[in-house]
Amino acid sequence: MKIGIDARLYGSSAKGIGRYVKELIENLEKTDSKNEYFIFLNRRGFEEYQPQNKNFRKISVNIREYSIFEQILWPRILMSYKLDYVHFPHFNVPLFYFRPFVVTIHDLIHWQHSKEASTKSCILANLKKVIFRMVVRSAVNRAKKIFVVSETIKKELLSEFKISSEKIIVTYEGAYDTKDIFEDSKNINILNRVKSPYLFYVGNAYPHKNLYFLAKSFLSATSQLPEDLYLVLAGRKDYFYEQLEQKIKDLPDNEKIYLLGEVTDQGLSLLYQNALAYVFPSLAEGFGLPGLEAMANNLPVLASEIGPLPEVYGGAALYFDPKNENDLAEKIIKIYQDQKLRESLIAKGREQVKKYSWEKCARETLAVYNSLKK
């Protein structure tokens, strides 16, 4: 079969979907020697991705995600290759692409919180919401198969759309120990920018990520501790991070909170390895990869008791109510003071991550590709 993969989000600096795309392709290369793959990348991804399997061909297509060109030019390019299937790793499937495809739906956060994740005026935001819903509904209804990253998202899809459960395939993501990969991380001076001990979070600052709640809960906890504790937040500084930064400036003792901006994978590795614990305060998630990667790096995890996080983390995390500041503050104090608890969570985390691997994700994905042969 001739299989296309929309890899425009591919890149070592990409998080979330970008990490999924990168790991899926690299593990498919190790797994499949029969099918022919066409990997479509933007300029940065094209330079970075170096195929290791002769059946994988990379193609440069500089069409920005979520743009009008994605709807008009992108389907023409894809159809010119006469592919048996295209795998779109995100909901943004062109409305006018009429050949068979599969899609990965990582979550329904923007479907459920579409008004939050917009910086536009009301008119543009409403127009954006209408188009977004049209694109998502079209992708879900027309896809031959839908990959999701947790049972929680499968249930949400079945609740929101009139589709068969047999159409939805759960393929969990993977995690790995970054200290074995980034050998030059000792040369990174990022730890000079923060004080220890610190709690850590990495990701974007969308409202549903609940980071202002985290900041307030953290400062409430530190006001009850006899010694200093710090909070480190890492993620690309966009509109939402700038808004968060302004809010934090109005909080007392805000000098205990560091907003580092985007960090390299090497810097991320070092931040994971030197933190006291990882905190995940989100109100909505699809899988929760950062918490799993924290476990892989021997970090105890404090996690919101919502959606897929208990499903993915099991008994390897200390959970809290993401709407109760006192609850999180108490859990922060507990994990700071109780070394035995930290050691127990670290041990449970090491076992929990063994349940997930990118190789398994790729093999399960390939099985679906092969099942769709004409």
Q: Which domains does the chain have, with CATH numbers?
A: 2-174+357-371 (3.40.50.2000), 178-355 (3.40.50.2000)
Structure tokens at 239: 């509109």
Residue 344: CB atoms within 10 Å? 15
Nearest to 214 by CA among 237, 240, 233, 198: 233
* Nearest Cα residue to 103 out of 149, 67, 57: 149
Residue 300: left if φ>0, alpha if ψ -120 to 50, beta else—which one? beta
- The torsion angles phi and psi of 366, rounded to 5 degrees, stand at -60, -40
Q: Do 15 and 24 form a contact (C-beta atoms < 8 A)?
A: no
pTM: 0.88
Beta bridge partners of 57: 38
Q: What confidence score (pLDDT) does residue 186 get?
A: 46
Query: How deeply is 93 buried, as exposed, middle or buried, from its count of CB atoms within 10 A (0-12, 13-18, 19+)?
Result: buried
SS3 call for 256? helix
Per-residue confidence (pLDDT) for residue 209, from 0 to 100 = 95
Assigned token pair, 147: 């990959």
Name the residue among 1, 13, 74 with its Cα closest to residue 40: 74
Q: Please give the chain's pLDDT, 374 residues, in tens.
A: 999 999 999 975 556 788 899 999 999 999 999 999 999 999 989 999 999 999 999 999 989 888 889 999 999 999 999 999 999 999 999 999 999 999 999 998 877 655 444 455 577 667 777 888 899 999 999 999 999 999 999 999 999 999 999 999 999 999 865 555 444 444 457 888 999 999 999 999 999 999 999 999 999 999 999 899 999 999 988 899 999 999 999 999 999 999 999 888 788 889 999 999 999 999 999 999 999 999 999 999 999 999 899 999 999 999 999 999 999 999 999 999 999 999 999 999 999 999 999 999 999 999 999 999 86
CB 23 within 8 A of CB 361: yes
Strand blocks (E) in 70-178: 85-88, 101-105, 146-148, 168-170
Q: Tell me, what's the pLDDT at 236?
A: 86
At residue 12, the pLDDT reads 56
